[in-house]
Structure 1
Amino acid sequence: MSGVARVARVGTASRRRRLRRRHPPPYVIGLTGSIGMGKTTVAQMLRWLGVPVHDADAAVHRLMGRGGAAVAAVGAAFPGVVCAGAVDRARLGARVFEDRAALRRLEAILHPLVRAAARDFLRRAARRRHPVAVLDIPLLFETGGEALCDTVWVVSAPAFVQRARVLMRAGMTPARFAAIAAKQIPDVQKRRRADVVIRTGLSKRHTWRQVHSAVNRARRCARRLRNTALR
């Protein structure tokens, strides 16, 4: 390596260190849970506590909405699903819901874009000096999203509570619920892989206490990591 190249590399590394000190990355919580477990409620509680939350489902909606980055690719892969510049989610769902090959094609388009959106969110959180940030990803384990996280929280509830919640949703049927659940890692396996389990089967007050306590622990971890990084 030439002397100029060596100096350039050292200079770049120095700039990166200064940037990390100026905008240290947040401590990243991966939030996940099967359908009907109460993940949306927990995400809202996190926002109330001042923690920024990246909603992967909302990111997908933006990607497939009018002018979204995924519209052209999805339209090419699934002719007839784009209407007025946006992906018609009902038409797309009918094409992929029971077709594994079609679902894999869709995931190959969406997952890289969703990961890029998550990384952009984390960079913004760092610039805004948030010590903790949350990636709310329903299929966190299924898509390998835990690689972006420092800790993983799984939201869980008893099976009978989950079923009752889901079947209260408009348009939901037992058969559709079973089909959705079959595509997700079972709750018991998620809990085994979790660092924190938030249980939502009792009252919202009980859930709130768990979330508040877990956020405080996460903030302490974030402080320790930042102090270590600055040494």
Structure 2
Amino acid sequence: MSRPFVLGLTGSIGMGKSAVASMMEEIGVPVFDADAQVRLMQGPDGVLLPAIEAAFPGTTGPDGVDRAKLGAAVFGDDAALARLEAIVHPAVAKARVRFLKDHAAAPLVVYDIPLLFEKTGQAGVDAVAVVSAPAEAQRERVLARPGMTAEKFAQILARQMPDAEKRSLANHIIDTGTSLAETRAQVVALIERLSPTR
């Protein structure tokens, strides 16, 4: 049985990956958003709440995971972060399998996975597109986010594979250091190249 061409979409923090994923959805490509799945599973009545509460007591409530408390419990603690990932990652992988079944008739689907190279690996994807921008644009975007500090940004970057390395591993690169119109043109061209039957 044939299945869609699976494009893994990734990029470091502040590179514009979410904007690119939105463009792909607008064009009609099914996008699996790993972060959105995690938010759903950690939200009110989320399937991961019991396991997270057991591992990190006091970090969940009626509204789901208290992101500030859970963040404080794992931030800067590699062992705690590994415990959390052991709960979250298998559940996301199952959701991804369901997504692929639901969109089996599509010529192309996208897996939007922030830490694709760092955590997930390229298993299950046919090609990888890396969203990239100049370092100064990345820094400006990230530091404009509410609650973000230079220290937090540095710690996040330390956990992510350097952009140059991601670019070297990519099959396709989408440059967001340009205008939105130019970025969209790159996205459209890539989708047309990967799904000629559209």
Q: TM-score range by the shorter chain?
A: over 0.9
Deviation of 1:89 (Å): 1.2
Identity of aligned residues (%): 52
Corresponding residue for 1:15? Answer: none
Instruction: Find out whether 1:135 has 2:111 as its counterpart.
Output: yes
What code does the residue aligned with 1:34 have?
S
Residue 46 (structure 1) aligned with residue 24 (structure 2) = yes
Choose which of 52, 66, 83 in structure 2 pairs with 1:88. Answer: 66
How far off is 1:66 after superposition?
1.5
1:187 and 2:156 equivalent? no
Question: Which structure 1 residue ranges, 5 or more long, are not aligned?
Answer: 1-19, 224-231
Aligned to 1:57: 35
Cα distance in 1 for partners of 2:124, 2:26 equals 23
Deviations 1:79-123 (A, max 9, x none): 111112621111100110111100000001100001111111111
Whether the 8 Å contact between 1:71 and 1:85 is mirrored in structure 2 is: no
Deviations 1:15-47 (A, max 9, x none): xxxxx2xxx311101000000000011001101
Q: 2:151 aligns with which of 146, 159, 175?
A: 175
Asked if 1:69 corresponds to 2:55, the answer is: no
2: distance between equivalents of 1:40 and 1:82? 27
- What TM-score do the two structures reach when normalised by structure 1? 0.83
What is the 5 A alignment of 1:133-212?
Answer: 133-212=109-188
Contact in 2 for aligned 1:31/1:136 (Cα 8 Å): yes
Question: Once the two structures are superposed, what CA deviation does each residue of 1:171-230 show, in whole Å capped at 9, x if it has no partner?
Answer: 11111111111111110110011000000001111111111110011103xx5xxxxxxx
1:137·1:145 contact (CA, 8 Å) conserved in 2?
A: no
Aligned ranges 1:10-25 → 2 under 5 Å: 20=1, 24-25=2-3
Deviation at 1:145, TM superposition (A): 3.9
Cα distance, 1:144 vs. partner? 2.5
Query: How many Å separate the matches in 2 of 1:68 and 1:146?
Result: 27
Q: How many residues align?
A: 197
For the residue of structure 2 that corresponds to 1:154, the secondary structure is strand
Q: Which runs of 4+ in 1 moved over 4 A?
A: none
**SS of alignment partner, residue 142 of structure 1:** helix
Secondary structure at the counterpart of residue 119 of structure 2 = coil
Deviation of 1:148 (Å): 1.5
Partner of 2:167, secondary structure, is: helix
For residues 109 and 169 of structure 1, the distance between their equivalents in structure 2, rounded to whole angstroms, comes to 28
**Structure 1 residue aligned with 2:89:** 111
- State the structure with bigger RCO (CA 8 A, min sep 6), 1 or 2: 2
* Larger Rg, first or second structure (1 or 2): 1
Contact 1:29 1:153 in 2 (8 A): yes
> What is the CA RMSD across the aligned residues, in angstroms?
1.0
CA contact (8 A) 1:42 1:211 kept: yes
Pick the aligned partner of 1:125 from 100, 103, 110: 103
Secondary structure of residue in 1 paired with 2:28? coil
